[in-house]
Amino acid sequence: MAAATGPVALLDAHQLLIFLLQVGLLLGTAVLLGRLATRLRMPAVVGELSAGVLLGPSLLAHLAPGASAWLLPQDSGQFHLIDAVGQIGVLLLVGITGMRIDLSLARRNGAAVVYVSTGGLLIPLALGVGIGFVLPGTLLAVGTDRTVFALFLGVALCVSAIPVIAKTLLEMNLLHRNIGQLIISAAALDDIAGWLMLSVVAAVATTGLRAGHVLLSIAYLIAIVVFAAVIGRPIVRATLRMATRSAEPGVSVAAAVVLLMLFAAGTQALGMEAILGTLLGGMLIGSSRQIDVERLAPLQTFALAVLAPIFFATAGLRMDLTALRRPAVLVSAVVVLLVAVLGKFAGAYVGARTARLPRWEALALGAGMNARGVIQVIVAMVGLRLGVLTTEMYTIIVLVAIVTSLMAPATLRYAVEHIAVTAEEREREKVFSR
């Protein structure tokens, strides 16, 4: 007979104080630097990551080690409190991204999207796996299998970032252009394939690189997708239909969050990444047509304005830019960045040319899809949490995400200047501007 246990101890006063200070300081700094970044025509995520960099081991720990140790203690339990807030934020962020994925748009753009997406995935994936086998062993976490590390790096380098790409296209007034539609459609397929591959690689990282484990992970993945399409879809529709009967939008918001969390829990229980569950849940919510997207505006506002900045600030806390002082780490960073940029450019370009698209359109596709931004940061965080990446390798991958996001607008603008505007695009612009 199990012994009776007392009530779980409450969070003590000091832990609560530190947690509240962490949330307030990280969020405030992230929002301020995010706004500054947007004013400088950079993605807000750059400023939000910088908040963690300034308050973490890259700067504050060197300038004021005592204050840093008090505010950001190494106690795992204390750090996990703020980490949990960030994890909820990133799950909602991915879910919202899933709601915005329009698969019908990809189908309308046809074979060109498939060619571009396939090239943009396979070439950087192959190059990433290749350099994963030759990078210094000091960048591998202790006990990490070299093949698992290489596969993880390949996945990290082949993803694109729909949030950053969509924002860039909107700011440049390109979403109504045919090239803008192609970029966002190909990036959507890239993202879906990237999350699926990440889930398999993450599962392999925890169970070991064995044929049986790999096949089991793939089987789970197929089962999850089938479940989402056959059983998950009617459940989502029924839930949202009931939620929309209430005039209070908060009921719809709560229903959407419940669905996203349960989908996340389901994939996590099967040894896959929780992020995959929220992506599929978001896609089902977005395609259900049972709910007006405007009813979920409060969820999007809170997730993007509060929870997501906390996540990116905590991601910045884990970066250690002082590691770049070591020649091996700096050289590795440069190599990974070059491979990431050239691989995505080459992949999208080859795919576009295979689809018989003109040269400048192929270059624009490579430029637009090169932005890794939010998605690569999330992938890096998963790798760090699983123990596949060291802090140095994590820092390198996040730097690649930042640099490629900063490069994308300038290179895309240059390529688009050489693409003539069609009459169809002018008509579409009138519709978009209403």
Structure token pair of residue 320: 């250690």
Per-residue pLDDT tens digits for 220-273: 888 888 998 899 999 999 999 999 888 888 899 999 999 999 999 998 888 777
95-113 average pLDDT score: 75
**DSSP state at residue 389:** B
Report for 21-35, 261-275, 381-395: range of highest mean pLDDT: 21-35
Low-confidence winner among 108-112, 278-282, 341-345, 404-408 (lowest mean pLDDT)? 108-112
- Give the C-alpha distances (Å, rounded to integers) separating 356 from 14, 116, 330, 364, 412: 64, 11, 39, 14, 19
142 vs 174: CA distance, rounded Å: 46
Rounded-to-10 torsion of CA 119, 406, 334, 348: 10
- For the chain, what percent of residues have pLDDT higher than 90? 32
Residue 175: pLDDT over 80: no
20-25 average pLDDT score: 93
Per-residue pLDDT tens digits for 111-128: 888 899 999 999 999 999
Q: What per-residue confidence (pLDDT) applies to 306? A: 92
Note the pTM of the prediction, 2 decimals: 0.81
Give the CB-side neighbour count of residue 419, counting CA atoms within 13 A: 22
Q: Kindly report the backbone phi and psi dihedral angles of residue 142, in degrees, each rounded to the nearest multiple of 5, phi listed first.
A: -60, 130
Residues paired with residue 389 on neighbouring β-strands, in sequence order? 140
Ordered by where they begin, the domains of the chain are: 82-432 (1.20.1530.20)
Long-range contact pairs involving 31-37 (C-beta distance under 8 Å, separation at least 24): 31/305, 31/309, 34/309
314 vs 309: CA distance, rounded Å: 9
